[in-house]
Structure 1
Amino acid sequence: MINYNGTIVSQDTNVLTENRAFLYGDAVFETMKIVNSKILFLEDHYFRLMASMRVVRMEIPMNFTMEYLEEQILSLVNNNGLSNSARARITVFRNDGGYYLPMTNTISFLINAIALENALYSFDQKEYEVDLFKDFYVTKQLLSSIKTTNRILNITASVFANENGLDNCLLLNDSKNVVEAIQGNIFMLLGGKLITPPVSEGCLNGVMRKQILELARKVDRIEVVEAVISPFDLQKADELFVTNVIKGIQPITKYRKKEFGVNLAMELLLKLNETIN
């Protein structure tokens, strides 16, 4: 028996009692966008998921191929009538048993999906204000670059942003440099350079980050650089924008008293949509 919200109930009624993802954050995940029954950037998602599982020493089943993953996700999406445009998440967690030390490294997975309003990427032409989140810091280590279910820093930063009327917050690493936003990678246009922090700074190795880097390198007038961004650089920037697979590109229009343009963000957004049409 367990006590659940003040009521003594059978342990069998709560599947989370022994679930390691719930108890210890012992899980990794990928969030993907589906357009017209196609998983965007599937290969990048698959290889990042495999790399994440290896980093945390999960046992990868022999049948866990890219084709198998694609089949499982699309069968759910199609079954739910969401094939036109959907957001799907696969969470891979170590099977029950043990405390900090697991009794097994075998895994199970859970996939869920919801509808998205738009198939193509877009952003609203409205103010999008951010500030720094300084309460806690991202550590410069390999674990920071993968997607685990331990996202308490991001959750706390989201609450802080909501309490202060902000649309997002920029996260700092333990060297006090800007590494990413709450739910995406950060890019800064400064003069003729488009700058994003290297993964070694502690930012997520984002799938959309990779796409934007590739697209931006084809724009002749700018130089693409992976380099440290200090908080002082933000005040000098011409543009700031956040990237992730679901939103695509989200321009930042205001940081404290500084306002930013959106021209390069719009140009890259158009190029991004061309790749998925």
Structure 2
Amino acid sequence: MVNYNGELLATDKSIFTGSNRAFKYGDALFESVRYVNGTLFFWEDHYFRLMASMRILRMEIPMEFTMEFLEEEIKKTITSNAQDSGAVRVRLTVFRNEGGLYTPTTNQISYVIETNTMESPFFVIEEENYEVELFKDYYVNKDMLSNLKSTNRILNVVAGVYAKENGYANCLLVNTDKKVVEAINGNLFLVKGNEIKTPPLSDGCMDGIIRKNLMKIIAGSEEYDLVEDSISPFELQKVDELFITNSIAGIQPISKYRKKEFDKKVAKSLVGKLNAKARIG
């Protein structure tokens, strides 16, 4: 079942017309949230990011769109799919209602909630090889729209095709200043000694929920020093570790970039702290 504006519908039922603005213009936002046994991980952060993003895109926020309302709608969808007791991947998509060409005739919105089961209830470090390469055919813009989790992700799609064609697990994206910004599906962190570095939002990276919370963990730690600064491609082969973060995988270590192979020691030490923070919200 999927939840369309509060109505539970069969997954094979047609919902949209050809005039849907998410389809025609990418005029939509989405949140991917991990749910485990009644808890939506970092739900408050997801909710406030969504509200802020809707304001930036001039979408009209319905009066009933409270954090509690959306949480109940998500849980209603999970229950309808008999997924209450396991780990679930939730996707909440918000899009402007149809009408108009590039300029919409309304700023009112609709939403869809989709849920899928997952194997692991918590974030785990995967041990398989995970090789990445730079994607330099197209560049990420250094602006606020790049920070949003919108459905305008054609650059990421083309980078994903490039990775698949060339046998890479992922690609690292570069901005218009030729600085490394993020991966196809998450934020990037570098580890060298006790220093952990990640690009600033001003470089055009996604304003990631796990990025935000992991930065708090690192900043509050006595073991590591957090640095938020631009990353040159030349740095990538000089660090001890590289890892990617997102709300579904948590922390994904990179095992190889070109000739350099990386450790996973810091990633493994941080994933436990991330799980603990997720459980308490």
Normalising by structure 2, what TM-score?
0.92
Separation (CA, whole Å) in 1 of partners of 2:272 and 2:102: 47
1:34 corresponds in structure 2 to 35
Unaligned runs of 5+ in 2: 1-13
Residues 187, 196 of structure 1: 8 Å contact kept: yes
Q: After superposition, what is the alpha-carbon deviation per residue over 1:90-135, rounded to whole angstroms, capped at 9, x for unaligned?
A: 1111111100110000001111110011101112212110010001
Separation (CA, whole Å) in 2 of partners of 1:175 and 1:43: 33
Q: Which amino acid aligns with 2:107?
A: N
Which of 90, 93, 96 is matched with 1:91 structurally?
93
Separation (CA, whole Å) in 2 of partners of 1:108 and 1:143: 21
Separation (CA, whole Å) in 1 of partners of 2:121 and 2:143: 35
Instruction: Kindly report the root-mean-square deviation, in angstroms, between the aligned alpha carbons of the 2 structures.
Output: 1.2
1:268 corresponds in structure 2 to 270
Q: How far 1:38 sits from its partner (Å)? A: 1.1
Which of 101, 109, 112 is matched with 2:111 structurally?
109
Of 33-42 and 266-275, the range deviating more from structure 2: 266-275
Q: Does 1:122 align with 2:124?
A: yes
1:70-89 aligned within 5 A: 70-83=71-84, 84-89=86-91
1:142 corresponds in structure 2 to 144
Q: Does 1:173 align with 2:182?
A: no
Q: After superposition, what is the alpha-carbon deviation per residue over 1:139-191, rounded to whole angstroms, capped at 9, x for unaligned?
A: 00000001111111111000100111000000000000000000000000123
Separation (CA, whole Å) in 2 of partners of 1:117 and 1:212: 23
Q: Which amino acid aligns with 2:247?
A: V
2:62 corresponds in structure 1 to 61
Q: How far 1:216 sits from its partner (Å)? A: 1.5
Of 253-262 and 76-85, the range deviating more from structure 2: 76-85
Q: After superposition, what is the alpha-carbon deviation per residue over 1:181-236, rounded to whole angstroms, capped at 9, x for unaligned?
A: 00000000123210000111000000010111111223313210110100001011
1:151 corresponds in structure 2 to 153
Q: How far 1:65 sits from its partner (Å)? A: 0.5
Q: What is the number of residues matched between the two proteins?
A: 265
Residues 144, 202 of structure 1: 8 Å contact kept: yes
2:249 corresponds in structure 1 to 247
Separation (CA, whole Å) in 2 of partners of 1:32 and 1:167: 22
Separation (CA, whole Å) in 1 of partners of 2:49 and 2:223: 31
Separation (CA, whole Å) in 2 of partners of 1:274 and 1:105: 39
Residues 42, 278 of structure 2: 8 Å contact kept: no
Q: Which amino acid aligns with 1:180?
A: E
Helix, strand or coil at the partner of 2:238: coil
Separation (CA, whole Å) in 2 of partners of 1:168 and 1:15: 31
- The share of aligned pairs that are identical, in percent, is 52
- When residues 60 and 125 of structure 1 are mapped into structure 2, their CA distance, relative to the original with a 3 A threshold, is same
Residues 16, 22 of structure 1: 8 Å contact kept: no
Normalising by structure 1, what TM-score?
0.93
Q: How far 1:16 sits from its partner (Å)? A: 3.0
Helix, strand or coil at the partner of 2:132: strand
Q: Does 1:227 align with 2:265?
A: no
